[in-house]
Amino acid sequence: MGNLDGKVALITGAGGMKGIGRACAMKLASQGADIAISDFKREPKDLPPQEIKAQWRSIDSVAEEVEALGRRCFKVWCDLTDAAQIEDMVSRAVGHYGHIDILVNNARAIIGRDRVPITELREEVWQRFLAINTTAVYLSTKFVAKSMIEKGKGGRIINIASDASKRAKPMTAAYTTSKFAVIGLTQASALDLAPHRITVNAVCPGSVNTDRLNYWEEAQAKTQGVSLKEFRARIVADAGKAVPLGRIAEPEDVAKLVAFLASEDAAFITGQAYNVNGGTLFH
Ligand SMILES: NC(=O)c1ccc[n+]([C@@H]2O[C@H](COP(=O)([O-])OP(=O)(O)OC[C@H]3O[C@@H](n4cnc5c(N)ncnc54)[C@H](O)[C@@H]3O)[C@@H](O)[C@H]2O)c1
């Protein structure tokens, strides 16, 4: 028996082998929730080498893991740049389970093409980051909240934001803007949904050891003549040295806070943006 027995959680961007979405699916399932997971079908060039090596199959693989925990798992492919697909994702998940109690807005645009000074930032990259990181959060919230209101049993919406929601770094204009906006969206939707006992909170990780494909890291590794794996290991080690608690986060560190915010114990918390960063940022 878990504290999320009988609940259903929909998690976007949950197909990555080392992603925060997968960690959330496993954590919420381990606490008793049934899971609906979504992701978009990546082209092979956009898959991390270790996923190819492990013959990882995105949400199909995650679903098998969730089911191995004894929970149900519904899979739905959805490109979050397309509003119609988002509406369809929500209605299929609601159709399958009858209700959604927890929404985790986790997906983000693949990092890398945005890592340029603003004078070099292509408008299509800017638009893509805003579409996936911000507009899709608004649309998923809108459709899921409507269904939660209809059921009348309250709900939990958890937006995975970032330390980039609170502090900019150079060459991140698109990402930073898209993630600052998520905090505004979290506060505004928390106020709109409070009368329906639906809480909306954001989780703001610092660096996380997610090992995802990143176009910028791929290019850097090539320039330095090292494998992507080696380059990633260096980044993780170097970034860890700058964290007061001595390491960067694991996806599970983030999932634990998500599980708390999804629980009954967090019923009186809404509109907040909590850091999971080992002490690197305090506001
Ligand atoms: N990894 C980190 O260091 C870090 C730090 C701070 C915040 N975050 C946030 O945590 C969340 C998860 O990060 P991660 O590193 O696990 O994720 P990630 O970079 O692997 O991306 C998450 C998922 O989004 C999916 N996605 C990309 N484009 C999509 C589209 N068009 N439609 C549907 N899905 C799409 C990807 O396929 C992937 O599975 C993100 O919101 C990210 O901004 C991550």
Asked if residue 127 belongs to a domain, the reply is yes
Predicted confidence at residue 211, as pLDDT, reads 72
Does residue 204 sit within a domain?
yes
Q: What is the DSSP string of 118-157?
A: GGG--HHHHHHHHIIIIIHHHHHHHHHHHHHHHHTS-EEE
Q: What is the CATH number of the domain that holds 264?
A: 3.40.50.720
Q: Would residue 141 count as lying in a domain?
A: yes
Domain housing 97: 8-213+249-275
Number of domains in the chain: 1
Q: Are 67 and 25 spatial neighbours (Cβ–Cβ below 8 Å)?
A: no
Structure tokens at 255: 């999932």
Instruction: Select which of 7, 97, 166, 175 is catalytic.
Output: 175
| DSSP result, 149-194 | HHHTS-EEEEEE--GGGT---TT-HHHHHHHHHHHHHHHHHHHHHG
What is the model's pTM?
0.97
User: Residue 162: which of 209, 123, 106, 118 has the closest Cα?
Assistant: 106
Per residue in 206-231, pLDDT tens? 999 987 667 888 888 889 999 888 88
Res 48: pLDDT: 84
Is the CB of residue 25 less than 8 Å from the CB of residue 35?
Answer: yes
pLDDT of residue 47: 85
With beta carbons less than 8 A apart as the criterion, state whether 79 and 133 touch: no
Domain presence at residue 282: no
Distance CA 4, CA 134 (A): 27
Pocket test for ligand 1, best of 210, 217, 277 (most atoms within 8 A of CB): 210
CA angle 134, 78, 208 (to 5 degrees): 55
- Which residue puts its alpha carbon closest to atom 22 of ligand 1? 107
pLDDT at position 189 is 98
What is the Cα–Cα distance from 228 to 217, expressed in whole angstroms?
A: 7
Q: Active site includes 175?
A: yes
Q: Using an 8 Å Cβ cutoff, are 201 and 193 in contact?
A: no
Is residue 131 included in any domain, yes or no?
yes
What pLDDT is recorded for position 61?
Answer: 97
Alpha carbon distance 235, 232 (integer Å): 5
Residue 236 falls inside a structural domain = no
Q: What is the DSSP string of 14-69?
A: ---TT-HHHHHHHHHHHTT-EEEEEE----GGGS-HHHHHTT--HHHHHHHHHHHT
Cα dihedral 114→118→124→129 (10° resolution): 50
* 22 CA: nearest ligand 1 atom: 16
Q: pLDDT digits over 236-257, tens only?
A: 999 999 999 999 999 999 999 9
Active site includes 179?
Answer: yes
Whether 205 maps to a domain, the answer reads yes
74 lies in some domain: yes
**Tens of pLDDT along the chain (283 residues)?**
699 999 999 999 999 999 999 999 999 999 999 999 999 998 888 888 889 889 999 999 999 999 999 999 999 999 999 999 999 999 999 999 999 999 999 999 998 899 999 999 999 999 999 999 999 999 999 999 999 999 999 999 999 999 999 999 999 999 999 999 999 999 999 999 999 999 999 999 999 998 766 788 888 888 999 988 888 888 899 999 999 999 999 999 999 999 999 999 999 999 999 999 999 999 9
Which residue has the CA at smallest separation from atom 39 of ligand 1? Answer: 13
Pocket of ligand 1 (CB under 6 A): 13, 15-16, 19-21, 39-40, 42, 78-81, 106-110, 132, 160, 162, 205, 207-208, 210, 212
Q: Which two tokens stand for residue 165?
A: 């929601």
